[in-house]
Structure 1
Amino acid sequence: MCSTGGGPDVEWNERLKASKRYRCKDCEQTFESPSKRPMCPSCQSEDVEAV
């Protein structure tokens, strides 16, 4: 049986392509996130800005 189209891996890759880079205003950590409401992975702060 042959299948076409995407699976979970394709969906994840599309999300990563849509990621934006952010900087935490509290701890200065920079990170990427596909979320519209990103949270710093280091200190869990939501006080971040796009860079």
Structure 2
Amino acid sequence: MCSAGGPVDVDLNDPLKGRGKMYKCNDCGATFTGLGKHPMCPTCQSDDVTEMES
């Protein structure tokens, strides 16, 4: 698994946590699916992101 920006902090053995959540970057406006406790924008590498309501 590729991990840009730090160690992997996802429990792949937990099926509910491994699905990812939708986030929006507050710096560049990109939307993306993120995993882990501290998702980072894949477009600008900012960690200033907000979880979007599903």
The TM-score with structure 2 as length reference comes to 0.62
Alpha-carbon separation, structure 2, partners of 1:34 and 1:40: 11
For residues 14-49 of structure 1, the C-alpha deviation after alignment (integer angstroms, 9 at most, x for no partner) is 42x2x1100000000000011110000000000000
Report the RMSD for the aligned CA atoms in angstroms.
1.0
Q: In terms of Rg, which structure is larger?
A: 1
Structure 2: runs of 5+ lacking an equivalent: 1-11
| Superposition misfits of 4+ residues, deviation over 4 angstroms | none
Count, aligned residues = 37
Which residues in structure 2 correspond to 1:22-33 (within 5 Å)?
A: 22-33=23-34
Identical amino acids, percent of aligned pairs = 46
